[in-house]
Amino acid sequence: MRQYARRVTGPLLVFAVGAGLVAAPTAASAAGVSVTVEVRSTLKVRATPSLAADVVGSLRGGQKVTAVCSVTGQSVRGSVRTTTQWDRLSTGGYVTHAYVSGGSTIERCETSASRATAVKAKPKTKPKTKPKTKPVATTNKVGTVRSGDGKVNVRTGPFTTSPVKRVLATGAKVTGVCYVAGSLVKGTVRSTTQWNRLADGAYISHAYVVTPALKLCPGAKPAPAAPAVTLTPEQFIQAAVPGAQRGWREYGVPASVTLAQAILESGWGRSGLASVDRNYFGIKCQSGKFGTLANGCHDYRTQECTKAGSCFSTVATFRTYATMAHSFRDHGSFLRVNPRYAGAFNYTKKANSFIWKVWKAGYATDPNYYTKVTTLMAQQNLYQYDTWK
């Protein structure tokens, strides 16, 4: 639907460099620059310039803080801009520049490599220089084990018959490198044939892990398509009603609207997103984030088209859910927190007017979307599930 050291040798000088690079402010920027936090609630302060880094503090929306210098880190799409710039605060933590304003003149942080002190070296025979090697890019993702079934086995292969290498308790952190297809496991988080390969070469079932999306391991074959869902329309509606009505109570989206949109967008629950990941509305992950109602992310190859009609293949990352009801509630949350749909919530007891406002705000580009949704609402008598009546 919708929302990327250095060692210098020579006859006279060598640089004494520490074990790694440490960002430090230059003399010119030591005083820092005052910036303002632009968020609705709070902005997390991280130990390093990455969304996966430990949280070391938080800032309120509108709060002014001092940015000492800036570094390049993980790309973040925020309320002010999309950027890879992270600002180092006077406290030593980092915040993404995507959510701050007023700091256009923040200087770059100096590294320990550029501040190394020169020492004299004996004018001996020039040593042989080793060929330079490019750093290997990593796509590792840190995930969390979630289990209501006791400890989770980490195995030597992606099958339930593979030998157990170790066990992990719920809450344990694991570093995933990529994924492969293996034995079907019905776990606490999901039912899946995906197994995550860890940094040490072992495997853990994705059924027990909450993690940002991993890439398919090189040379591995993708998992076979899930069997088609065979619910009748009547069965689908009855299964969907509780989640749709809870979405109305929590967020104000008419149940009839939620039901019709789910039917239209998931093909009565038969789409791959719905049958595999219980995602009935195509809600995507954003920079690996999936909110509080989803339980993870899943990559899918999709076709995207520009307004000019040019189409191309790309990989999109969609949210996954433990239940249908979680997907329906997240749909309500998505509409409620997105400012572009604010006008629709003046019509929470007028289902047709509600979906008209949502469509006109840009929810879907299909010119017949409103007609399709309201036709389903009438044909399937979905208005009967609007609980204010």
Give the per-residue pLDDT at 123. 55
Q: Can you give the residue ranges of every domain in the chain? A: 13-101, 141-210, 233-282+322-385
CATH number of 233-282+322-385: 1.10.530.10
Lowest mean pLDDT among 113-122, 251-260, 321-330, 352-361: 113-122
Between CA 335 and CA 258 the distance in angstroms is 11
More confident residue, 54 or 244: 244
Common-topology check for domains 13-101 and 141-210: yes
Lowest mean pLDDT among 29-33, 112-116, 260-264, 299-303: 112-116
Give the per-residue pLDDT at 30. 47
Rounded to an integer, the average pLDDT of 262-286 is 90
Lowest mean pLDDT among 5-9, 114-118, 127-131: 5-9
User: Which CATH homologous superfamily contains domain 13-101?
Assistant: SH3 Domains (2.30.30.40)
> Do residues 162 and 195 lie in contact, with contact meaning Cβ atoms separated by under 8 Å?
no
Instruction: Tell me the pLDDT tens digit for each residue of 67-121.
Output: 888 888 888 888 888 888 888 888 888 999 888 887 667 888 875 433 444 444 4
At the second CATH level, the architecture of 141-210 is Roll (2.30)
Instruction: Tell me the pLDDT tens digit for each residue of 335-357.
Output: 999 999 999 999 999 999 999 99
Give the per-residue pLDDT at 198. 94
Instruction: Tell me the pLDDT tens digit for each residue of 135-189.
Output: 444 578 899 998 888 899 999 999 888 888 999 999 999 999 999 988 888 788 8
Cβ contacts of residue 218 below 8 Å, gap of 6+?
178
pTM value surpassing 0.85: no
Between CA 113 and CA 17 the distance in angstroms is 6
Between CA 305 and CA 303 the distance in angstroms is 7
Q: How would DSSP label each residue in 176-239? A: EEEEEEEEEEE-SS-EEEEEEEETTS-EEEGGGEE-SPPPBPTTPPPPPPPPPP---HHHHHHH
Give the per-residue pLDDT at 225. 52
Positive or negative, the CA dihedral 75, 81, 87, 91 is: negative
Between CA 146 and CA 149 the distance in angstroms is 9
Q: What are the beta bridge partners of residue 43?
A: 59
